[in-house]
Amino acid sequence: MLTGKLVRVRHARNKLVPLYLEPTDPVWVGVAEQLLFAFRSSPGRTRGEILDELSDLIGEGPRSLVHKGLCDLLEDRCEFEVTSEHPPEAIREAIFRAAVRHRVAAAAAEIPFDRNVVVARVANEMALSVEQIEQGLFADLKDERRVLAFKDTTETALLYRYNVALAQAILLRCSAMEVRIWGETPARFRQLFRQVKFHKLICTIQASAGESYTLKLDGPLSLFSSTNKYGLQLAQFLPTLLHCKAFDLHANIRWGTERKDKLFTLSAAEGLRSHAPDFGVYTPPELQMFADSFAAKVKGWTIGTDPNPIMLPDGVWVPDFKLTQPASGKEVFVEIFGFWRKGDIEAVYRRLKKHFAGKFVLCISEQFRADEVDEVTFGEEVYRFKRTPLPDEVAKIASRLS
């Protein structure tokens, strides 16, 4: 996605209006074509060489921000390597040590410092040629990285990708976001909710009028820790949302160095096009692994991986699994959390305890706690795990519930 200095917006009172590109504009299609031509021939060349070739096209001024942003997106499609027969950091360390020794000796002998002498001595010490030392000295710096491969795309797809990247960059400064989605099949809604889980987002879901759902998500600037990592997860959720036919998004943004409150809105009508594959009813791998492990290891219980959202008096709960004990007919629903805070889990726990007592298990990861306020103590329905939830432990908790 775009870095902060490349984000282009205008201000309309308290609203942020992204300066999207028109993907069919011949001018921008022409710019994308020129950039793609350079990157298609990039394998074997360094990043610095490519940017030098494009320097006249990139230029200066406001339009250069678009050119630089498009270049960054194309760089993301490159696979880079560090070309050096010896670790660059080891070469630099040897050069710096040799330079200090040579400078002291040169000062004592009252002769000029000679860089070539230093390089030659280090080459001899490391059994490398002078050319290998020169090539490897800064080979790991960004501009010296060499392109191994480039994943091609089209001009129009690149311009659509720019617009999504612009919206994603804005959401990195989000403190709260609300999205209403309607007109989708139950399978699509379930998949959308699973993607919320897959990205480990802090979210509450409510049923809305007109067979719709409203998602209320915390933004990265609402957390005490894990802000960058969480912000990236929230931004990566946007392409999934763009697969929906009808949605309205409202986000509170803290903008600029003073973090002034701004509003950012997005709807399906604006025509942003997702670059992410549409996996339909795809199940995140960690959930599938848990389900497979549970089915293989746990006796006396069956596991369902496609439970419907559960309507509660105060909203909707979307569990990940439905556990059934055939002998007794007992049913217990399980949710595995990603990022979480004490207050959020307490709210979910109290809500389920009130409306769904004896029928739920909440699994929370020690790795993804987003606050450090104090110790957390919950009831027996909450299972805390370190890396991955253990099916046997979840089954034991389910068995104890009544």
pLDDT tens-place values along the chain, 402 residues long:
788 889 999 999 899 999 999 999 999 999 999 999 999 999 988 888 898 989 888 888 777 899 999 999 999 999 987 655 677 788 888 888 888 888 888 888 888 888 888 888 888 888 888 887 877 776 667 777 888 899 999 999 999 999 999 999 999 999 999 999 998 877 788 778 878 877 888 888 888 887 788 999 998 888 766 577 888 889 989 999 999 999 999 999 999 888 899 999 999 999 999 998 876 656 678 888 999 999 999 999 999 987 877 888 877 788 889 999 999 999 999 998 877 788 888 888 998 999 999 999 999 888 877 776 666 677 889 998 988 899 999 999 999 997
User: What single DSSP character describes residue 309?
Assistant: P
- Name the fold adopted by 285-400: Trna Endonuclease; Chain: A, domain 1 (3.40.1350)
Helix axes 62-75, 47-58, angle to 10 degrees: 150
Reading the block at residue 290, the tokens are 């848990």
Q: Are strands 330-336 and 382-385 parallel, antiparallel or unpaired?
A: unpaired
Helix axes 62-75, 155-171, angle to 10 degrees: 100
Question: What is the H or E stretch that residue 227 is in?
Answer: helix 227-241
Q: Radius of gyration (Cα) for the chain, nearest Å?
A: 27
Q: How far apart are CA 363 and CA 340, in angstroms?
A: 11
Q: How far apart are CA 26 and CA 255, in angstroms?
A: 32
Q: Return left, alpha or beta for 197; rule: phi > 0 is left, psi -120 to 50 is alpha, else beta.
A: alpha
pLDDT of residue 85: 65
Full-model pTM: 0.68
Q: Are 217 and 179 in contact (CB under 8 A)?
A: yes
Reading the block at residue 115, the tokens are 């860089």
Reading the block at residue 357, the tokens are 């007592």
Reading the block at residue 200, the tokens are 């480990």
List Cβ<8 Å contacts ≥24 apart for 345-351. Answer: 345/376, 345/378, 345/382, 346/378, 348/317, 349/378, 349/379, 349/381, 349/382, 351/312, 351/314, 351/315, 351/317
- Name the fold adopted by 172-273: Alpha-Beta Plaits (3.30.70)
User: What single DSSP character describes residue 178?
Assistant: E
Q: Are strands 15-18 and 9-12 parallel, antiparallel or unpaired?
A: antiparallel
Torsion of CA 162, 164, 167, 169, to 10 degrees: -70
Q: How many CB atoms lie within 10 A of CB 128?
A: 19
